[in-house]
Amino acid sequence: MKLKNSWTLAIKALKKNKLQTALTMTGMTIGVATVLTMIALGSGAQTAIQDQVRSAGMNLILVTAGNYQMKQDKPADEGIEPAAYLRQPHKATLQTATYNPHQKARFVLAFHPEDDPMAIHDHPTSRQRLGDSEAGLGAAATLTIGDANEIRKIKGVQYVSEGIHENAHVTFGDTRWFTRMHGDDVSQPLIRRAWTFPHGRYFNKGEEKRAESVVVLGQIVSEKLFGTNNPVGKTVSIWKQPFKVVGVIGSGSWMLQPAPGDDQFDAIYMPVTTVQKLLNLSKLNDITITTESTGDVTRVSKEITELVRKRHNIGATMADDFTVTSQARKALQGGGMRPDVSAAVTGNVSGLEKITLSQLGKTLDRASETMTALLTSIAAVSLLVGGIGIMNIMLLSVSQRTREIGIRRAIGARSKDVLTQFLFEAATLSVIGGMLGIAIGCFASGFISKLVQWSTNISLPAILISFTISAAIGIFFGYYPARQASQVLPIESLKHE
Amino acid sequence: MSSVISIRNLTKTYQMGDIAVHALRSVSLEIAEGEFLSVIGPSGSGKSTLMHILGCLDQPTSGQYFLNGRDVSHLSDDEISRVRNQQIGFVFQGFNLLTRTSALENVELPLLYDTSSDIPASERKARAMAALESVGLKGREHHHPNQLSGGQQQRVAIARALLNNPTLLLADEPTGNLDSRTSVEVMNIFQKLKDERGITIVLITHEHDVAAYGSRIVHVKDGQILSDEPNESRRMAHGELAQMAPAGRTA
C-alpha cells in the first residue's frame, strides 16, 4: 500500500475521534511550548550576560599599524604580548621600533620630535597624515584590507572592521564643521552596539564594495550642519567632493551622550574603500575585531599576531610592525590612571588579559550554560510527559479499536499497513501539536519578556530543534502502540465486541 | 468445473490451558466455482473455525488448503493479506462496518489496501459508488452506519466485500441480526451474485431455513462433516420477495 493511503487513513481515524485527538495534541503542544520558552529564556539570559560583557568591550581586540610599545621587564608568556617577539637584553624604558623590509637594523630612539603634542611643525606630521592612532615613528601604515579578510577567517572571530581615521571639513551650504572622519566596514554598528539610527541607516555592503560616495553623520555633525532637519538624501561636501548622506548615528545608551569632540558622534563615517579611493591609500590605520566569546580574546589575539606576522614576513627575531591591544588593557591605560603608572602596570603584569578576560569571560559563559542546561532539562521532562501522554492515548486507542483493526485486517490490511497507520496517527498528533506548541512558545516568550522584562531569544535552530524533537517523540512513543496494533490477530479482533 | 476451494485433512486444535480443543478434525472439502454452499451446524460445531480458515483469517494446525489452486495454508502475513484483499469478500453477522465513517468510505476501504495497483481517489470513489448502487443504496453513500438500518448496513458490507471482485464470498450468519424480510432481501442479493456473476459463496449458519437458499448443504458437527449433499429443495429468494407484502424501505 502506498504511504499516501496510510496517511489518508490516519487522518480519517484522527478526525473520527476529535476529542481524543485534541486532548493528546494539547499534551504535546504544552510540552513543545515549554521547551521553546525555556530555550528562549535560557539563551536570552545567556545573550544578556554576553551583551553586558561585550558592551563593556570585553570582547574587543584592536590591531593598530605600527608598534609603539612599552618594553616589558618580564617576558610575556604564550606570546600574546606583542613585545614578546622583541627581546632586548638591556633595559630600555621606552622603545620605538620601525618596520622596514629592506633594512634589518632597528632604530632605538628615546624620543621622537613629533611625539611632543605642543610642538609646531612646518611639515605634515604623522599624526596629521594618519590621524592620531598610535602616531609616532613606529606608526607605519602597514595593515591592509587583505590582513582584515584573513583575520575574518580565524575561528571565534565575530566582526572585523577595517579603519582609516582622518580629520575632515564637512560642508553643507555655507555651514562648515571640522570633525573626525572614519573609514569603516559595514559591521561597525554591530561592534559599537550602543548606536541607534534616528534617521536613515548605515552604509551597506554594496556601497562599500563599489566604494560609493556615501556618508553617515554622527548626531553632533548632523546638528551642526542641519539643525533639527533630516539630512538623509542631502549632499554634503568633503574635500570638495560631493557625498550623499544615508543616515545619522545617535546614541542608544543613556550612559553615552553625544558631545562635540567625542570622536564617535562628532564624526562622520564612510566605507573604508571610499576613503582609500579618495585619498589614494592602500593601507589601514587599524583593524577592530570582536570575538564571539569573551573567553576567546586571548587565543584570538595570539592567532591574529601570528597571522599578521606571517603575512608581513616578519622573521622570528624581528619586531612586530603592528600592535594588538585588547579592551582590558586599554581600559587600564585609560582608566584615569596616570599614563606612567598604567604603563608600568600593563608593562609589568604579564598575561594581564588572561587573568581578567579568560577567567571572567569563561566564568560568565559557564554560568549561562548551566542555566540553559537547567532550563532545557526541565523542558525535556515536560516533553517526556507529552510523549508518554501520546503513548498512553495510542495504547488506549489500540485496545478500543481492536475491532476496527480486525475489520481492516479482514479486508486485506497487512500488519505493516496497520503499523504505518498508527505511527502516522502518532506522528501527526505530535507534529501538529508541536507546531501549535512552537506558536504558543513564541507568543509566551514574547509575553514574558514584555511582562517581566526578561530578555528572551528565539532562534531558528531552537524552533527547528523543538519541531524535530516533537516529531521524534511522536514516532518513538507511537511505535510501541502501533506495534501492538499491528500484532492483533484478525480473528481475535473480530470476536472483540 | 474447477475447484475454487480444496481442503484436505484440515485440523485445527486450540490449546486452552491444559486441554486441547479440537475445533476441526480432519476435514476435507471441495467447492467448485459458482457454488452456493451452506455450512450448517450448531454452535461449537467448528463451522466458525472452518470459515476463519477458509477466509485466511486463521491458519490450520495441519492439512492443506488450496484456494484457486494455490496452497494458502502457510503464507506470510503480506501474502495472506493480499489474498484476503484480492480474492475473498467477507460478510459478517455484526456487519463490521467502521463506525463514524460514511458508507462510501467503508466501501472503498479494500481499494486503499490494494498493494497491486495505485488507484486514484476519484476512481476509488466511482467504484465504491457503483458498488453501493448495485446493492440499492444510491443516495445513502454519505450516511454513517448508525444512520442506516440493519439491512442497509449489511448491504453496505456486501458492497464492500464485492469491491475487489473476489472469487469467494464468505458470509458468517449474515442474517443473524436481521428480520425475516431483510434476510430474504440479503439472500436475494447472494443468489443473484451466484447466478449472474458466478461468484462462489460459502454461507455459515445454524438455521436450516437460511441454509436452504444454498445449492449445496454441508452439515458440520463436533469438528467433522456429517453430511454433504446438493440441495434439492432450494429456496428462491426472488420469488419469496414477490409474494411478500410490500414493506417500507427501512426494515
Mean pLDDT by 10 residues, chain A (497 residues): 78 86 86 85 74 66 73 47 46 50 49 56 53 44 84 89 88 89 88 82 90 91 89 89 91 72 87 87 86 79 88 82 73 52 53 52 72 79 82 85 90 91 89 91 88 79 84 87 89 74
Closest A-chain CA to B86: A412
Strand order, beta sheet including B36-40: B88-91, B168-172, B200-205, B36-40, B216-221, B224-230
Q: What is the ipTM of this complex?
A: 0.92
Task: Note whether B112 contacts A404, CB cutoff 8 Å.
Answer: no
Closest A-chain CA to B55: A410
Same domain, A409 and A269: no
User: Total structural domains in chain A?
Assistant: 2
Same domain, A103 and A224: yes
CB-CB neighbors (< 8 A) of A497 in chain B = 94
Residue A276 in contact with residue A301, Cβ under 8 Å?
no
For chains A and B, count residue pairs whose Cβ atoms are closer than 8 Å: 72
pLDDT of residue A429: 87
Task: Note whether A494 contacts B78, CB cutoff 8 Å.
Answer: no
Q: pLDDT tens digits, residue range A320-377?
A: 888 888 765 555 554 444 555 555 555 554 454 444 555 666 666 777 778 778 877 8
Residue B173 touches partner A, C-beta closer than 8 Å: no
Give the helix ranges, DSSP H, for chain B: 47-54, 77-87, 103-112, 121-134, 150-162, 180-192, 208-211, 237-243
C-alpha cell at A409: 485486517
Same domain, A290 and A437: no
Q: Which of A361, A391, A408 is the last residue of a domain?
A: A361
Same domain, A12 and A142: no
Confidence of residue B24 (pLDDT cuts 50, 70, 90): very high
C-alpha cell at B172: 458468517
Q: How many CB atoms lie within 10 A of CB B142?
A: 10
Same domain, A341 and A409: no
Which is more confident, A139 or B240?
B240
Residue-range definition of the domain harbouring residue A327:
60-361
pLDDT of residue A80: 46
Is residue B124 classed exposed, middle or buried when 0-12, 13-18 and 19+ CB atoms within 10 A define those classes?
A: buried
C-alpha cell at A52: 553586558
CA distance B13 to B61: 6
Same domain, A44 and A120: no
Residue B161 in contact with residue B189, Cβ under 8 Å?
no
Same domain, A344 and A403: no
- Give the closest of B96, B105, B115 to A407, CB-based: B96
The CATH superfamily label for domain B3-243 reads P-loop containing nucleotide triphosphate hydrolases (3.40.50.300)
C-alpha cell at A103: 633594512
Same domain, A351 and A450: no
Q: How many CB atoms lie within 10 A of CB A348?
A: 12
Same domain, A85 and A204: yes
CB-CB neighbors (< 8 A) of B90 in chain A = 410-411
pLDDT of residue B30: 94
Same domain, A431 and A483: yes
CB-CB neighbors (< 8 A) of B92 in chain A = 494
Buried b vs exposed e over B206-230: b needs ≥16 C-beta within 10 Å? eeeebbbbbbbbbbbeebebeeeee
Residue B163 has pLDDT above 80, yes or no: yes
The letter for the amino acid at A20 is Q
pLDDT of residue A24: 83
CB-CB neighbors (< 8 A) of B86 in chain A = 412
What mean pLDDT do residues B5-23 have?
Answer: 91
Task: Note whether B164 contacts A412, CB cutoff 8 Å.
Answer: yes
Same domain, A115 and A165: yes
Task: Note whether B82 contacts A412, CB cutoff 8 Å.
Answer: yes
Domains of chain B, by residue range, sit at 3-243
- Give the closest of B92, B97, B113 to A417, CB-based: B113
Same domain, A329 and A404: no
Residue A436 in contact with residue A25, Cβ under 8 Å?
yes
